[in-house]
Every structure is written in structure tokens, then in C-alpha cells.
Structure 1
């Protein structure tokens, strides 16, 4: 009988409070609880990991032409590490990047970055073969020219793709090939399931004896004692008396992982910070006429214009998630706000807060999803037959500083025994967690045993990695049902890619 996985066996007296149970707060809670640190995590919702739509691993950041090569390399490293910790959360399929003729960019400009990323990936695999989690480095990307796609368009549609060319057949057969600049790029950028991430976090933290998860708990105040420990005041929704009951809890260290509401806790803690917050949405569609297994496809475009980037993200059962980087689809007028000299919390208008707290008006769901379908059908004409497949995936995203193009960020430290997470992409959550462990060591609050200090990333998460793919998917489907989304968004999409 297989021995049950256990967290590390030392139990320091250190206690850490984490406010916010999104992907950042949950990953940090897992990292610390696996080390035996006592963790208290607070989440307003009924389960962990909600918030902005997560659909893409960003193993190289190739969706974003405007970010630096350094950010792309950081995202590649972070994505590889994250996949090693959350192996059952990935949707294994490639991504195709296409540049329309009306776009100002040139696809050849991507090639030097892709070659740099490929070389860096090869270096990581040479250092540790366990880093090979997104295919072989030699197959990190492949270029396709118009004549290549015209030849592929004449081939039959494979039901189960086994090569890069197989993945390109539905693309070749459904795009108006004369609309694009060449080459098109196929790259080993995988999908990421927000529901299986949520399932992993909920299941693992409930198994860890050093973690306590406080769901339906709203933090109303924090204060610091002279000895630098913190008191957290929170209200717990009592289902028996239909009321909110106020509680107090003391911790040695406080982590602010509140996502777009991070500034609220910053203000309570008297820690000023400059940041942006942007409300965004992606749209759930079902395409009954879909044929074959699709890769994700990115159609580049200028952000915030009618020609903004379009993103087609596949799921099982003919479901696709759509982004359209225009103000009528994914972006919103007045949806981008910034902090002030008086408050670290950017103020979104009440209409966005109502969406986050109470949901969407059905008419707006239909209107914006229909616009997303129309935007996609500019590039994939047959997509005009797609239908509304469910309510949008949505939320507000914080970006530290004032550069809305920033993608690789993790954590910052302020005051005494206080950290704030500032991830923009989910793959940065583990980096934030590791930085906090180092800070706890630096402050003398925690010491790694020699056996733990030499452990690999995988060895640092024995309980998290012990979860089975079946259990993760089953609980993910349950969460999708509870959150009123199609089960398809929680199911595993996995194919063997070309070696």
C-alpha cells in the first residue's frame, strides 16, 4: 500500500495570516503549510481561487509583443516551476500566433525572442531533465508559411492530433489565409485550467494539518502590535443565524494577497503603494460546427482599438473561451483605474463591483459574448455559428506601478512582517511564495532544516503533488457546477505533442 504523503515533520511556532484565497494566496499557503508553518488563509468566497480568468500558462509570454525579453524569460521559468507543482492543471495543446495584414507588427520580429526562449529552455533542461515539462526544447516552436498551410488545408481532419502539422490542419482549413502576414508561429504554450487549480488548492490545503482555511470570511481590520505581530479582525458568515459574527486572530506575519483589493489592506496597514487595477472579462462560447482538435490561436492586434488582439482558447466538448482586446469585449470604458496619494486602492466604479459581487445582467452577457463571436469570425469566418456557452469569466487584475503592459511581477515587502503579492500572471504565484520563504528566513522567523534546504521544488510539495488527476478533475467539475459554469471548462484537455 502506498504511503500517504505528509508535510515536512517540523512544526515551528511561526504563524502566518494570508488575506485572500486567489491563486497567489493559495499557492503561498501551500508552500508555507508544506514546510510545517502554521497558516491561516482568509477568503470571502465559498471556495479558493476565483477572480480574473486564467486560461494560459504563459510559458514564454509570447502573447505579448510589447513586453521585454527579460519578462518572457521570467514567465518561462515560473511556468516550468508551476507545472512541476500542479501537474494535473495543464491543458496540453499548443498555441498558434497569427499576425493579420492590417496589423502594424511583423511576425518575423517574434523569431529572435523565440530563439532566445528556446535556448534558455534547453539550458534549463540541460541543468535538470525534470524541467522538460512543455515538450522537447528543440520543438519549442515551428514556423508555417502560406504554402505550408495551403497544403495542410487539403488534408483530412485528424480526430486526435499527434504532430504539429495535425494541430495546424483545422487552422489552415478555417482561416482566410490571404488575410495574414507570414510566418504563423506554433509554440509550446499550454493552457491552464482555473478550475483544476482551484480544486488542487482546496483539496491540498484541506489535507495539510498546518493550514486552516477560512472561507466566507471578510477581513474588516488589521493592526500591528509593538512586538510586530498582527491582529486580524474578520467577519464569518454564520449560516445558522444568517448573520456575520466578528472574530479576532493573532499571527506573527501578515501576507496581503487580496488581488484587486490589495490596496484596501495596504490602507489598513498604513502602507502606501502605487498600482493599477483593470477589470477584464473573457467569454464562454460553444461552437457546434467545430471540427477537429484546435490549438489556441492568438490573432495579434493593437490593444484598445477595434482591431484589438483576439484569442481563441479551446476546451473539450466544443467549448471555447474568447478574448477580444477592445473596449466592447474584454476591456471596458473606465475599467482601468489607478491609486492616489491618499489611498493605495484604485477605485473601480460601482458597476464593476456589482459584477464582481453579484454577477452580470443576462442581456449584457449576450451582447458582449455576441460581439466576441463577431470579432473572432473576422479571422475564423466559420466561427459565426458559435453560440453563448455560459456566463463570462471575469475579474479585476492589479498591476504594480503604472505600466499596464507589465506581466512578470510577484511580491513586495513593506514595513515590518508584512508582504503583499502583486502577481499579474498566475504562473508568478510560486515565485512570490519562494520569495516570502526567503524573507522569513532573512528576518530570522523561520529556518529550513538541512534536509529541506536541499530539496527540489517537487520535493517541497509532497501533499500537493500526491493528489490524483482523477480527484482533481472530479472536484474541479464540482466547482464548475457550483460556480454555474459548463463542466467542459474543468475537464482535462490533453494530447501527446510532437517530440
Structure 2
């Protein structure tokens, strides 16, 4: 990694923000031989909202369009190919409780369309075969099948939908849900292994400069060049000159927009997920989604499995994952939506222990409505939390990537992390940075990323999880290998 001793430096591209977007852009640009500097105010990369799910088809979201689902599918496949050691290969189960007005079969037309799109992508390029057999992208289960599965023992390494659903069938209150139940190959995504993969790749790159603990003070356009004034890890004020500027600041994107005097309309939403320990971890669970109307007492419940019986929980109520005043919009005076002080304090100072305990217990109770024995789960760590930006005014938007201004300025406006590589690819094309650019050749374009081993990535990911105050189980590879 390069060191910086002079007060002023110059690069082709400067990236502000080391979340999923900025880290992915730095990986991609550096691998292509473009001189890039990544400024991140924190001590490490990808330390933001609670990513746990790849969204390879967007089936978790009933409210989004089929087109967004197809975009998420394509983007997710590209993300798996770029970061192959970040995925937990286990299915997601989607159940509709009787408390919800929806019908499980309403998902079928969309599932068929997504399956067809996945098959087309595999036909176009066999390397897109990363979500299992397209002919088995999803499977429906009636109650009678689940009752039979409840009497079976799960193998140590489940390989079929039937085997993955055995613990679901044993533990879920089958009277509480409608049928059929859907199992789909939407895999898990480890935020810690993603951070580790990006860090290891950037550290090896001769073209990428990783500048951690570096806080941007202002961004100005001078003499056809971007001048970034920042405070480095030693507290010294320095300047970075760049021909192009990428704003990848996540929920703080609006602050750089304000500094650069390039206004943009957006929403920001604060969310949290909760870390729990349940049982001895012998069963290999799929991820489970119990649908429900967002923001109500019956809001969606999400049970995400990790190693050794550690589970991450979402509950789409204001008492659990959502927060009163947690969705805010920009205004005429500023492109940066302002969260309530209580939420800003959580982002900047952390959580009070009693609030962690209370909200995690509420999340446990929420899941136990459908999985009764889950009421024995315990708090296993602090919440995973952060604020998510949503460009524009549509709070249901999930597939978004990048926008441009005419002064060599790009905003990576990623809502779901799987959109980051497509955003980086659009930047390359829009600015004509690489001659004969072929973004579909992911493996060929990323020799450093492809050289990483699963052991390397998992080892660093566990270190990152522990250093950030989380159990290492959140970083361990689970599912099929």
C-alpha cells in the first residue's frame, strides 16, 4: 500500500467513502490499471448498513417491479463473480403468515420470469451459473411435504431444497402460515468477507491508494481539477487533486453534494438488525422471510443464519428494524437528509446497552410468533446498523446505481450492495476511461480479486468482525462450498 508524506498528491480518480460502493469501485478501477485514491473516514472498509442478503432476484420485496427484480438478479450474479468468497450458499424460504393479506401464489409469475432471465444469462455466459441450476431456482412446498420433512434428520451438508427445509419444518408453527411455501436460491452475503475481499485486493493493487482514517473537509472544482481538502490519520490537513471525483459516501452522499454545489434529491433511512444466539447451531437453517406489512405490528420478520447458532434478525416494525423518524428526505437548502439526533447519536457514538437488549428481545419475540422455540434465543452482540440512501423520492426503490454531473463528478447511489459493480462499470463507460472495455469479462479483468483464497478472506473477515465488536460467526463461511 502506498504511503503519503507530501501535503499534496494527484490521482486520476478520487473516491470518497469506503462502503460497498466505494470499495467496489476502487477494486474495479485499480484492477483496470487506473490510478485511484480511496478516502475513508473510518478505520476499515464496508462498515455500514446491515447487509446479509444477496437479493438475487429481489423476492424478499413484494412491492418492487419485475424489472427491478431482474436488475437485482443480474447485478447479484456479477457481484458473486467478483467476490466469490463472500457468499453463503443457502436458500431463502418465503412464507406468508395468516396475519398477512397476501397470497403465496402471487409470487409465482415473478418467480417464473426471474427463472427465465437467469437461464438466459447462463446461456449467454456459463460463468453466470452461480445461483445453482436455473431449472431449480425455486421450489414450492405444500404443508403435507413439510410435515413429512419434519420427521427427517438433516444431513451434515444439505444439498437440496428438501434437506435445507428440514429445520424449518421441524420448528415453524405450520398452522401460522399459508401455502405453498417458497424456497428460492437467494443466497446470503457476508458483509465482513466482503470487507476482507475488498481490503486484500486494494492492498495488492499498484494503482490503488487506500487512505483510512481520512476525513474530507471540502471538495472544490478548480482549474478543471477536483481539489479535496482532508484531514489524514495523523490529524494533518492535506490536499488531493483528481481529474475525476466519485462520491460514494452512502447516506452522507448529500454532504459532498453540498460541498461541491451539485444538488440532488434523495431519501435516507436508518435501519438496524439484531444479533442473537439460538440453540447449539447443529441444524443448518435457510434464511427465512415471514412476509408482513411494513411499519405495522405484523411487519416482515427475517431470520438470517450464521455459524454455530448465531442468527441475525430483522423485524419491519418501528420497535425493531425501523425507527420513528428514521426515513427522512433532502430539502431545498441541502442535499443531505437530516436524521433525528437520537439516530445520529447511534451512528456516531453507538448504542446504549439497555436499548440493545430491549430491541433485540423485541426482535426475538417477533420471530417467535412463527418459530415458537426461538423465544429461548439470547442477545449475542450489538446491532448491525446504518443509514441507507435512496435516490429520488420513491422509498420502495431498490435497484439503483450511479448518476453523473458534467464536471467529472459521479454519485454512486447504491441502495443494495449488489448494484455497486454495475455502477462502477457505468462510470468506466461514461467517462471512457478504458479502451475496448468489456465489463462482462469479470474474472479476466480482476486477477487480484480472483487470486484470493477462501481461507485468506475468512481469516481477515473474522478479525474484522471481532475488531468491530461482533461475534466471528458472522464472518465464517456457511452453506454449500
Q: Do these two structures clear the TM 0.5 threshold for a shared fold by scoring above it?
A: yes
Distance 1:56 1:447 in 2: 32
The answer to whether the aligner puts 1:98 opposite 2:95 as a matched pair is yes
- Quote how far apart the aligned CAs of 1:358 are: 1.6
Find the counterpart in structure 2 of residue 484 from structure 1. 469
Find the counterpart in structure 2 of residue 193 from structure 1. 190
TM-score, length basis structure 1:
0.93
The answer to whether the aligner puts 1:64 opposite 2:61 as a matched pair is yes
The answer to whether the aligner puts 1:40 opposite 2:37 as a matched pair is yes
After TM superposition, the runs of 4+ consecutive aligned structure 1 residues lying more than 6 A away are none
Residues 319-354 of structure 1: CA deviation (Å, up to 9, x unaligned): 000000000000000111100011100001222122
Residues 276-295 of structure 1: CA deviation (Å, up to 9, x unaligned): 00000000000025551100
TM-score, length basis structure 2:
0.96
Contact 1:412/1:419 (<8 A) preserved? yes
Residues 122-148 of structure 1: CA deviation (Å, up to 9, x unaligned): 111111111100101001000001111
SS in 2 for 1:252: strand
Residues 151-180 of structure 1: CA deviation (Å, up to 9, x unaligned): 111222433312211111111111111111
Contact 1:304/1:327 (<8 A) preserved? yes
Find the counterpart in structure 2 of residue 299 from structure 1. 290
Find the counterpart in structure 2 of residue 28 from structure 1. 25
Find the counterpart in structure 1 of residue 51 from structure 2. 54
Find the counterpart in structure 1 of residue 364 from structure 2. 373
Find the counterpart in structure 2 of residue 467 from structure 1. 452
Distance 1:142 1:265 in 2: 45
The answer to whether the aligner puts 1:232 opposite 2:216 as a matched pair is no
SS in 1 for 2:179: strand
- Quote how far apart the aligned CAs of 1:416 are: 1.0
Residues 361-404 of structure 1: CA deviation (Å, up to 9, x unaligned): 00000000000000000010000000001000000000001111
Contact 2:281/2:310 (<8 A) preserved? no
Distance 2:288 2:281 in 1: 14
The answer to whether the aligner puts 1:406 opposite 2:394 as a matched pair is no
Contact 2:158/2:284 (<8 A) preserved? yes
Contact 2:281/2:307 (<8 A) preserved? no
SS in 1 for 2:313: strand
Find the counterpart in structure 1 of residue 79 from structure 2. 82
Go from structure 1 to structure 2 and tell me whether the alpha carbon gap of 1:382 and 1:65 turns closer, same or farther (over 3 Å shift): same
Distance 1:143 1:96 in 2: 10
Find the counterpart in structure 2 of residue 269 from structure 1. 260
Unaligned runs of 5+ in 2: 1-9
Find the counterpart in structure 1 of residue 341 from structure 2. 350
Distance 1:351 1:19 in 2: 26
Pairwise mapping of residues 6-405 of structure 1 onto structure 2 (< 5 A)? 15-226=12-223, 228-238=224-234, 244-288=235-279, 290-405=281-396
Residues 277-321 of structure 1: CA deviation (Å, up to 9, x unaligned): 000000000002555110000000000000000000000010000
Contact 2:428/2:434 (<8 A) preserved? no
Unaligned runs of 5+ in 1: 1-12, 239-243
- Quote how far apart the aligned CAs of 1:247 are: 0.6
Contact 2:36/2:208 (<8 A) preserved? yes
- Quote how far apart the aligned CAs of 1:14 are: 6.3
Aligned alpha-carbon RMSD (Å): 1.2
Distance 1:351 1:414 in 2: 34
